[in-house]
Amino acid sequence: MTTAETNGTVGRGVSGGVGGGATATATARPATAPATLGPTANTVLSATGVTVRFGGLVALSEVSLQVPPSSIIGLVGPNGAGKSTLFAVLSGLLSPASGRVYLGGADVTRSSPQARARKGMARTFQQPELFLGLTVREHLVLAHRVRFARKRLWQDMANPLALLPAPASENDRVDALLELLDLTRVAKAPVAALPLGTSRLVEVGRALATQPDVVLLDEPLSGLDMHESENLASAFRRVVDEGERQVSLLMVEHDVATVLALSSHIYVLDFGELIAEGSPEAVRNNAAVRSAYLGDENVTAARTDLEPTAPEPTDREPTTQGDRAPDDRAPDDRAQGSDEP
Ligand code: ADP
Ligand code: MG
């Protein structure tokens, strides 16, 4: 795994490769090829038949995935399965050799990350990259302005003395978001002072402030302690169930128990192939998933964890640890967002 990936900066600023290294084979679709099946009416984001090769290695083979509105969708798989590569294709950092990506019905396969952001896609990274001197609220305001008041952003920067008062609509939206994420009490705190769990919430808030239709979450729980994970997971639920706007979350995550608990539909990758997809129940009971990824013992643990009578969070730690993939890293490694040793 490359250093960039280890630092959780999957492909950022690197064109045509996930975290640098080999360049993906990016072949334009031949004009004569039959039209790929488009998105169904009821998806905010979809991928069809996505294939990515790194030299001779097939990192993704004909992978398709759909994200319906107002849903939480999970993407899991062992290390090297192709999760980060798929995220890079969905977010526009990597061009697939074949296959299409649709955002809100539009084909964005060749669109830049910025163009996708304007069309309603946001994402978070494993390592929150926040401006340490700014407060929590300022982060959300900035993100909101980048999307909705770009011109004004530049005016304010050019002439700080002439800062215009914020419009009521902006204040209201930011306040509602702070409330939804339970960040109101730290709204005025500089992010430098915040624990990792709260920083992750700020990152999610920043993504949501752009009012996206879909947010890609890259291992949002990595490095968090149990209490912080619980907090973030319930914030995700609130965002989808109670937020002002319809939004969907697509989550890559190592904490399988949490993915199974949160997601309505889960996709399982192994060696670049989609080996299973379906409801948490279906995925949990899938034989291929058991042998390829979870391991029987861990599946049982995950099920216990999801029983209605599941123990309260404070009792969960051993189970949650048990749910982790066999190839999972030590907590310290996870805190650094490393994907592989
Ligand atoms: P995951 O995120 O599920 O751990 P990745 O998408 O990072 O998996 O990797 C999928 C496969 O592609 C792995 O075999 C990995 O080694 C390979 N791979 C990823 N990025 C690159 C790259 N930039 N150059 C060469 N191979 C890569
Ligand atoms: Mg990865």
* Residues at CB less than 6 angstroms from ligand 1: 17-19, 21-22, 54, 57, 59, 77, 79-85, 339
Mean pLDDT across the stretch 95-117? 95
Least trusted range by pLDDT, from 45-49, 102-106, 156-160, 215-219: 156-160
| CB 64 within 8 Å of CB 47 | yes
**Protein residue closest via CA to atom 16 of ligand 1:** 80
Q: What was the pLDDT predicted at 259?
A: 94
| CA of 7 relative to ligand 1 center, distance in Å | 14
Q: What was the pLDDT predicted at 223?
A: 92
**Protein residue closest via CA to atom 5 of ligand 1:** 82
| Tens digit of each residue's pLDDT (9 = 90 or more) over 50-86 | 999 999 999 999 999 999 999 999 999 988 999 999 9
pTM of the predicted model as reported, rounded to 2 decimal places: 0.75
Residue 335: which of 229, 256, 236 has the closest Cα? 229
DSSP state of 185: G
DSSP state of 190: B
> Average pLDDT of the chain?
77
Mean pLDDT across the stretch 140-144? 89
CATH topology for 3-120+211-335 is Rossmann fold (3.40.50)
pLDDT band at 136 (very low <50, low <70, confident <90, very high): very high
| Pairing between β-strand 45-54 and β-strand 57-67 as defined by DSSP bridges | antiparallel
Least trusted range by pLDDT, from 45-49, 287-291, 316-320: 316-320
**Protein residue closest via CA to atom 10 of ligand 1:** 82
Q: Which atom of ligand 1 is nearest to the CA of 339?
A: 4
Mean pLDDT across the stretch 125-139? 83
Taking the mean position of all CA atoms in its chain, how far away is CA 290?
A: 24
**Residue 62: helix, strand or coil by DSSP?**
strand
In CATH, 124-210 is 3.10.20.30: no
Q: Domain ranges for the chain, please list them.
A: 3-120+211-335, 124-210
Whole-number Å distance between alpha carbons of 78 and 340: 10
More confidently predicted of 168 and 281: 281
Other CB atoms within a 10 A radius of the CB of residue 297 amount to 12
**Protein residue closest via CA to atom 14 of ligand 1:** 80
